[in-house]
Amino acid sequence: MAARLAGVLLLLGLAARGPAPAAAAKMKVVEEPNAFGLNNPFLPQTSRLQPKRDPSPVSGPAHLFRLSGKCFSLVESTYKYEFCPFHNVTQHEQTFRWNAYSGILGIWHEWEISNNTFGGMWMRDGDSCRSRSRQSKVELTCGKSNRLAHVSEPSTCVYALTFETPLVCHPHSLLVYPALPPSLQRRWDRAEQDLADELITAQVRCGGNTPPAGRGAARSWRCPPHCLQGYNKLLRALFEDAGYLKTPQESESVPEGGAKVPAFQTLEDCSEAHRQLAKELRRLKSVLTQHGIPHTRPAETSSSEHVDPKTPTDGTAEQLRGDPGLRGNTL
């Protein structure tokens, strides 16, 4: 108790002698004044920094997992930066002032993957920075020893770190494919096969685009860019399933209540959607049958007359298509 009281007295003494609060405004990183004691160097480290969430699970090339749980620091001008791979990036102002700034510049989130290579580690959801959160991208480069080599702030509250390590010196050390479990490697193989088929086979429909008729024309036909987007989507989903990338939050990208327009990028997607629709159709038919509502069997092959809204159809088909007949029913 006595020691604690002494600590408080010491603290008050330092506060009294330290720079006036106005000096805080000059600090590079502090935007809001911190609550007294929140970033207090006399309090244990853990109670000073409040992470917004837990880090993502360790993922990526297995030979990098040994970096987990370690931390590497770099002192640059008046700041000490600390990078804890697969955990966090923090910044600590090197000063004896009572309100020295300590902050979280990012929590391990996901890999950046470019050209099928692990390009860097994204650490996001750091301390608030105006309406956003601080975030850091850590680039891994070959070096003689594990070392945080460089820190910069290319745009406000986005930090770029360079971490040197002998673990990435082999030219294949950051390739994504060898890091994947065999089941996902097979999925990637299939995606490559699909892509190749779309490039060379005339029969394959590609997102509604059919190759032109005629052998020569079909041979020179190239998959339109959105089919490659389909391939990229397959890969993205695969990287998400591997835990390398995080699925973007629906609430952020899709407006409230906004329905996603289905876009079939591959034959596989389209077949799956068709299968689901056929299943739903069977379910609806059975509901109609259950309620003793007569219904006609829709034409399986030629559906053009059902699609064309100008074509007059008999009342039953109209009812089935427009669904008004079921409105009053409890399903």
Ligand X SMILES: *[C@@H]1O[C@H](CO)[C@@H](O)[C@H](O)[C@H]1NC(C)=O
Interacting residue ranges for ligand X, rule: CB under 6 A: 49, 51, 69, 71, 84, 87-88, 90, 104, 115
Pick 15 or 71: Cβ nearer ligand X: 71
Q: How far apart are CA 68 and CA 91, in angstroms?
A: 19
Cβ distance to ligand X smaller for residue 71 or 199: 71
Of the pair 123, 206, the CB lying nearest ligand X is at 123
| 200 backbone dihedrals φ, ψ, rounded to 5° | -115, -15
Q: Which is nearer to ligand X, 13 or 177 (CB)?
A: 177
Q: Judged by CB, which is closer to ligand X: 49, or 293? A: 49
Please report how close the Cβ of residue 191 comes to ligand X at its closest, in angstroms: 17
- The two tokens of residue 26 are 């000059």
Q: Which is nearer to ligand X, 86 or 98 (CB)?
A: 86
Q: Tell me how far, at minimum, the Cβ of 119 lies from ligand X, in Å.
A: 10
**How far apart are the C-alpha atoms of 285 and 242, rounded to whole Å?**
39
88-97: which pairs have CB atoms within 8 A and are 24 or more residues apart? 88/51, 88/55, 88/123, 89/123, 89/126, 89/136, 89/138, 89/159, 89/161, 90/49, 91/29, 93/27, 93/29, 96/14, 96/18, 96/41, 97/14, 97/18, 97/19
Shortest distance, position 193 Cβ to ligand X, whole Å = 20
Contact 194, 266 (CB under 8 A): yes
The packing angle between helices 225-241 and 182-200, to 10°, is 180
Minimum CB distance to ligand X smaller for 173 or for 266: 173
Specify the residue, 175 or 199, whose C-beta has the smaller distance to ligand X. 175
Q: How far is the CB of 104 from ligand X (least distance, A)?
A: 5
Q: Report the b/e string of 279-312 with b at 16+ CB within 10 A.
A: eeeeeeeeebeeeeeeeeeeeeeeeeeeeeeeee
CA distances from 331 to 167, 295, 324 (A): 60, 16, 13
* Residue 241 vs residues 150, 180, 245, 252, 328: alpha-carbon distances, Å: 32, 10, 8, 20, 43
Task: Tell me which residue has tokens 């391939």.
Answer: 231
Query: Smallest distance from the beta carbon of 264 to ligand X, in angstroms?
Result: 29
What's the closest the beta carbon of residue 84 comes to ligand X, in angstroms? 4
Q: Which is nearer to ligand X, 102 or 162 (CB)?
A: 102
What's the CA dihedral at 151, 152, 155, 159 to 10 degrees? Answer: 0
Single-letter amino acid code for the residue at 32: E
Radius of gyration of the chain measured on its C-alpha atoms? 30
Distance of closest approach, residue 50 Cβ to ligand X, in angstroms: 8
